[in-house]
A and B are shown apart, each in its own frame.
Chain A
């Protein structure tokens, strides 16, 4: 297997992009990434999207996008793993280059969510339809059960839980691509609409339109394209129980732990080597559990630690410098790709006011459903 590097990144602004359809968004991100890498011709591409069919009635989007960005003829593959689609698309592109099959490969993620009438039901297709969906449970309800179990067991308070979105909004203020770059205070969280007790609106990631893309190539060719290549140091992916009731413990996300362990092993690093992490904070409680499963805090400790400033600049580790899903936005199929883009931006030292000082190694963690899948990347500035 060859070492692989990321040589180009690009994304749209995240938000309500009423003037752009799914292909416009993908093309904007892909062409920006290609321009960033200085490549005009791809060998192959991967497109991550959770549900372009239900959201926009457009399937077959791997070919649509290859055609629309002027690369018709190359192999192009759709990757779907619910909200982890974007992260797995990047993983697939990396493996294609590592295997020697291709040299210049694009991985993009996209989701056009605002055109749909009932997005909740579309998102709920990522849950276990027979045991969860048909009974009316949607993701806020599933994560609310996890939050209740966690708060009950570890004594996390509602006020402490609120510190997760407050921190992420603070980070997003310095991200020009963020959907909601506004400050959020405790009152703003605690008085926001109740969605699924104890989760309020400000605990929930938003509906977002957006796309992101990265270009990968063999590490030994990376300097042809950029003087700041970012090495892919480790990848880990795993599946977990699709239904929440099959989790052995409601306060754990096994797929995240397994994916993290595999990525650490491949990278040959430990949690102490990671300078920052982009995690899948689809709901406030998710960030807390994920931070524990990745080893940054002991079980039952992440919530209080984040509330005490350990998840931001000057703390134990900067979690979600981009603003995370909550404040940067969560176009589900694009989220994992955008996490990689944030990590690359940080490792290049190009993150401006949200730059994590002396960032050398960064991690991203992308997740599908209530832990039915997860993918972790560890990247390094070389």
Chain B
């Protein structure tokens, strides 16, 4: 027989408690819809500025269609440089019809350009997201999820170089080490929970003319309303980046095990590799 030493029986642990699982999936739904309806709203004026108002001649990012002798093209401008992005950004097909729009219809909710409907989706799920987020913060504090699982210990922080190396080599923790979040995971989750998510929410609120009147000038802390719109977009892009890396890590770490643990709570701890394997 090829295997001399059979692997030790897999150890199963109860990794995610029900409230965390529930709030995780509510968050998945609300952030997905917020992102996609947000892109539809962005498309109504596909340009971003810094400051109080829109300096129409000098956006730092714009995604437009432009007429050329050869026909219309999609043009993405970022920090003064331009790229032709026909087919995806600036000019793309909606139901077979080529049309001028910032982000393409497969990234937006609803698919067609429909600002009023996108706003209804956005504001409804903004409430779902905020209520869910506040519930999560309270739960994490009082159940000690934050202190126990999310905050890295001193020795974990000191091991950050090793952790970075392990991630780059796609070496995933096994045995006892796999029961805890690793230090990079801790820092990524903490950045999302305490930087990106609050920023996306506050910058979103700063775009409301009525909420700007809560305390005169508070929007200036973000650099003005158009800066707030830019920060809202950048924080959303950061969340998208986090989600892509998160999904990638889920796939390389063992997709079914990871998904099962976020659905049922039960996680199979990857066994320590035997000294001599197959």
Q: Do A and B bind each other?
A: no
